[in-house]
Chain A
């Protein structure tokens, strides 16, 4: 799952975000390489979700430039930009009045695909995320949390975007389901090589899923490290995280997919 090429797909240049008198994000410089999973790790209020939402312009920066595929993202049409970027959020954010198939097929439908092509794509995606075809007819409230999140991932992948933004997608799941979905995410990523920006506050998750981990604190980027570097790091914030999460992280950092 290592990146084939090292060219940045997403790049933040001196990006700041201020709302009212509140400096949410300050001078962020960061890039996400093609095919890697960059994890934004930090506690609530550290600015990690804001960083994610800046990419698909759910939030607009106060200063700085964000390049998506080399283009400043505020110079592309916002609708085009968003349809080309998969977006997965906590609790999945599925549309409760749409059946699963319609949820998954949403972006293709917005993009005007033919009905037959949408249906075929939905079947393919249900299989990809490990759900039977019959799930297509169900409604989100009839699914378990884990199943909803699988649908959320399938929906984000529907139009085969190159970039995937994932905002604490597995945070609300029970530990067993979370473990299962993390493992499947790794397997999926081995096949699909999407460029993923992944937000979490869970160090274990960050070590297991991330190609690199960007640690954030109070609106600033502290450091960017690989999982192996992270657990050995002398950085004050990084070691504070490692201490807080306790033992067994070394093995998590070696992240077997078994």
Chain B
């Protein structure tokens, strides 16, 4: 088992790159949630904002990731450190599924329930926090889950601009034409994606069960 041999010999570095990878994905997903969920709420409540915001997020999604990294490289503060840049790019990519699912989740709350809540004298904030967000939570989380899985894959490309992560092995392996090195990056990345998918999916199911 050549690959296992390679992994065990380089376990310190595998661990380090995995943690770097997790950092890139975790922090960018967090930012994307902080921006995307409020935007999704806004879009669900103000019809006029719907088109521009979703279209922008859609367009960002269509930019090839290498090109986006390239575009952002000359930006002053950002370009100075490649991890900042990678985190921004990953955040931008994670926005669309989070915005869209937040919108869909809130939009999908039964209109009769929303009307009952208003009719009983809930303020718009109470309606949002006590009714809409709890009822939309599982749909919002499924957007987060999609975002995380996309990010784990995309973050491998961040290595191309020197932001680290498991992509380092993949690019190094490509340069060395060594399958083992490629797999040493690809397999942990795939495992991360699966674990993240399972983990967030578990939380999502628990929320739906309520």
A interface residues, Cβ below 8 angstroms from B = 53, 56, 58, 79-84, 87, 89-91, 93-97, 106-107, 110, 155, 165
Contacts and interface: CB of A to CB of B under 8 A. Distances in A.
Interface of B: 110, 112-113, 115-123, 126, 130-131, 134-135, 210
Contacts of A107: 120-121
Interface of chain A, helix or strand or loop or mixed? mixed
B134 A97 contact: yes
A58 B126 CA distance: 16
A90 B112 CA distance: 9
A89 B117 contact: no
Nearest to A77: B121
A83 B120 contact: yes
28 contacts: A53-B119, A58-B115, A58-B118, A58-B119, A79-B123, A81-B121, A82-B118, A82-B119, A83-B120, A83-B121, A87-B119, A87-B120, A89-B112, A89-B115, A89-B116, A93-B112, A93-B113, A94-B113, A94-B116, A95-B131, A96-B135, A97-B135, A107-B120, A107-B121, A110-B120, A110-B122, A110-B126, A155-B120
Nearest to B130: A95
A97 B118 contact: no
B137 to A, nearest CB: 9
* 8 tightest A-B CB contacts, nearest first: A93-B116, A82-B121, A83-B121, A87-B119, A93-B112, A79-B121, A97-B134, A93-B113
Q: Of B110, B121, B210, which is in contact with the most chain A CB atoms at under 10 Å from its CB? A: B121
B115 A110 contact: no
A50 to B, nearest CB: 13
Given A95-B131, A97-B134, A97-B135, A89 B119 contact: yes
Contacts of B116: 87, 89, 93-95
A17 to B, nearest CB: 16
Contact of B117 (A56, A84, A91, A95): A95
A53 B123 CA distance: 17
A91 B113 CA distance: 10
A93 B135 CA distance: 14
Nearest to B116: A93
A93 B134 CA distance: 16
A31 B113 CA distance: 28
Contacts of A165: 119
Contacts of B118: 58, 82
Contacts of A95: 113, 116-117, 130-131
Nearest to A82: B121
A258 B116 CA distance: 32
A53 B112 CA distance: 13
A91 B118 CA distance: 16
Given A89-B112, A93-B112, A165-B119, 7 more contacts: A81-B121, A82-B120, A90-B112, A94-B113, A95-B116, A95-B130, A95-B131
Nearest to A87: B119
Contacts of B134: 97
A154 to B, nearest CB: 13
